[in-house]
Amino acid sequence: MEVKVRYAPSPTGLQHIGGVRTALFNYFFAKSQGGKFILRVEDTDQERSSEEALQDLYDTLDWLNIKWDEGPIVGGPNGPYIQSERFELYKKYAKQLVASGHAYYCYCSEERLDEVRTQQKAEKSSQQGYDRHCRNLSEEERIEKEKQGIKPVIRLKVPTEGKTTFHDVLMGDITRKNIDVSPDPILLKGDGFPTYHLANVVDDHLMGITHIMRAQEWIPSGPLHVILYEAFGWEPPLYCHLPMVMGKDGQKLSKRHGSTSVRDFKEKGYLPEALMNYVSLVGWSFDGEREFFSQEELEKVFDITKINKSPGVFDYKKLDWFNGQYIRLMSDEDLEKALIPYLEKAGFIDKDISSDKKKKLDELVVCAKPRLKVLSDIVELAVFLFTNPEVAAPEMFVAKKMDLKTSYEALSKTYEIMIEDLNQGKSFEDVESDITNLATDMGVKVNGVFTPLRVALTSTTVSLPMSDTYKLLGKEESFKRIEKALEMLKKEVE
């Protein structure tokens, strides 16, 4: 039997890490089994679904290079794949269940439902949820309600006795007493749209889904879905509930913990390959040793039985590390291309880059490559090159065990050395060793002479190595900055 799985998000917000992890696991499982991966849009909540969220779903999967075999845009034999376009279908199936005695019309107002709920809560009743008020309405009562013009919902008649078991690939059998299953949940809402329960069962069946891989938060409704399958007389698919993705505090990952939307990660400059690789490792591992996998490899090597049962914390630091590794693997050309949008956004470069600037850029990329965790790091690293900010305070020139006077002295002597050496046609490497000697001569730490130079050239205490900085800036600009710095220091010393 061909494996057929689906990712079925509801477009009610930006795609987040948890969702994408589910998508990835489904996708990898399908690929590894030579099966099909289906995308289905569950937009049955008309209030919360949005066009923007739908677009974000497409953008996200596109960015990650996840292609679906059937679904919106590409179509397929079981379409449409957007639930709002299947509107009539659910109505038909809901009514079928009413006709077969597995479901019933309910006329309860939301107000009454609220009342029931608050009362149950107040009494700490063991019975929480709908009180099945309309379950046994007589035909006369029903007609009376209809006459009043109340638009009913359709509820599933959940058995009040017995128990229901479903099988989970990872968890084994999970059994729940029927009395503990959600009491008669709504299948078809007042607006004629189905709830998740009805829509997903109907569609999974119609679309021939063989395995349902979804987050563990769905475990409690597993038995409910099986009851639905049985009511229809259908065979339920295999379940595989994926461990949750948590934040550092052990709670379900949310915005509190940092970025969670894939769009955010993209904008900060995470590479899709890195994100995919890392995300595939939360809740799954290959052998505990190997961690680097390309998409193609994951499509081959992914093994559903190696998925973990316990929830995993999303480690932003490890993602950073992965991303840095992937950046270092990029060619200089590719990296430069990836970096340009960030430099443009910062206002450092324009759309058309002069050949002069292009050369600078080429150099910059080489220097920056080992230092980047995310692409947007380039801005801070390059700010000295494209702007010339004021030094915030003269004290910045002063390294440990130095003072303003010695720092001034160090910088002016450094400047003299630079002028002389460079006039003699020496390389900057030679200049560096002479500066190092200067430190010895002055009886100070090497850092004591490099710090004033660093601050003079970059206005910051953290920067690229001085040789790179000098080469990037060029002789003229470098000298200009040193002179400016000397002026500032001189005032302080006098």
Q: Which of 71, 272, 324, 452 lies at the binding interface for RNA (CB under 7 A)?
A: 324
* 100 binding RNA? (CB under 7 A): no
Question: What would the 3-class secondary structure string for the chain be?
Answer: CCCEEEECCCCCCCCEHHHHHHHHHHHHHHHHCCCEEEECECCCCCCCCCHHHHHHHHHHHHHCCCCCCEECCCECCCCCCEHHHHHHHHHHHHHHHHHCCCEEEECCCHHHHHHHHHHHHHCCCCCCCCCCCCCCCCHHHHHHHHHCCCCCEEEECCCCCCEEEEEECCCEEEEEEHHHCCCCCEEECCCCCECHHHHHHHHHHHCCCCEEEEEHHHHHHHHHHHHHHHHHCCCCCEEEEECCEECCCCCECCHHHCCCEHHHHHHHCCCHHHHHHHHHCCCECCCCCCCCCCHHHHHHHCCHHHECCCCEECCHHHHHHHHHHHHHHCCHHHHHHHHHHHHHHCCCCCCCCCHHHHHHHHHHHHHHHHHCCCCCHHHHHHHHHHCCCCCCCHHHHCCCCCCHHHHHHHHHHHHHHHHHHHHCCCCHHHHHHHHHHHHHHHCCCHHHHHHHHHHHHHCCCCCCCHHHHHHHHCHHHHHHHHHHHHHHHHHHHC
Q: Which of 177, 255, 345, 401 is catalytic?
A: 255
Least spacing, CB of residue 428 vs RNA, in Å: 9
Tell me the per-residue interface mask from 139 to 178 with RNA, x by CB under 7 A, - otherwise: --------------x-----------------x--xxxx-
**Considering only residues 75, 220, 389, 474, which one is a binding residue for RNA as defined by CB under 7 A?**
220
Q: Is 113 in the site for RNA (CB under 7 A)?
A: yes
**Among positions 138, 148, 310, 423, the unique one binding RNA when judged by CB under 7 A:** 310
Q: Binding-site residue total for RNA (CB under 7 A)? A: 92
Q: Per rule CB under 7 A, is residue 467 in the interface with RNA?
A: yes
Closer Cβ to RNA, 33 or 325, answer by number: 325
Give the pairing of strands 211-215 and 238-242. parallel
Q: Which residue in 119, 308, 354, 387 binds RNA (CB under 7 A)?
A: 308
Q: Does 371 bind RNA (CB under 7 A)?
A: yes
> Of the candidates 110, 140, 296, 352, which one interacts with RNA according to CB under 7 A?
110
Shortest distance, CB of residue 112 to RNA, whole angstroms?
9
Give yes or no: 248 in active site.
no
Site for RNA in 29-88 (CB under 7 A): 42, 44-45, 47-48
Name residues contacting RNA, limited to 351-370 (CB under 7 A): 370
CB of 217 to RNA, least distance (A): 3
Smallest distance, Å, CB 311 to RNA?
Answer: 6
**Shortest approach of RNA to residue 351 CB, angstroms?**
29
| Contact map string, positions 186 to 215, toward RNA, x by CB under 7 A | x--xxx-xxxx---x---------------
Measured CA to CA, the distance from residue 403 to residue 409 in angstroms comes to 10
Q: Which is nearer to RNA, 191 or 344 (CB)?
A: 191
Contacts of RNA in 373-392 (CB under 7 A): 373
Among positions 135, 257, 263, 306, the unique one binding RNA when judged by CB under 7 A: 306
Among 178, 216, 376, 412, binds RNA (CB under 7 A): 216
With beta carbons less than 8 A apart as the criterion, state whether 217 and 311 touch.
Answer: no
Least distance CB 31 / RNA (angstroms): 20
CB of 70 to RNA, least distance (A): 18
Report the residue from 3, 464, 482, 486 that binds RNA according to the rule CB under 7 A.
464
* 86-116: burial string, b at 16+ Cβ within 10 Å, e else: beebbbebbeebbeeebbbbbbbeeeebeeb
CB of 238 to RNA, least distance (A): 16
| φ/ψ of residue 245, rounded to 5 | -105, 120
To RNA, the closest distance from the beta carbon of 353 in angstroms equals: 25
Tokens 């968890």 correspond to what residue? 171
Binding test (CB under 7 A) with RNA, winner from 8, 66, 209, 274: 8
Our finding on whether 133 is near RNA (CB under 7 A) is no
Figure out which of the listed residues 89, 137, 169, 219 binds RNA, where binding follows CB under 7 A. Answer: 219
x/- track of binding to RNA for residues 420-449 (CB under 7 A): ------------xx--x---------xx--
Closest to RNA by CB, 34 vs 105, is 105
The rounded distance, in Å, linking the Cα atoms of 332 and 362 is 8
Residue with Cβ nearer RNA (3 or 399): 399
Tell me if 285 contacts RNA by CB under 7 A: yes
Catalytic residues: 255
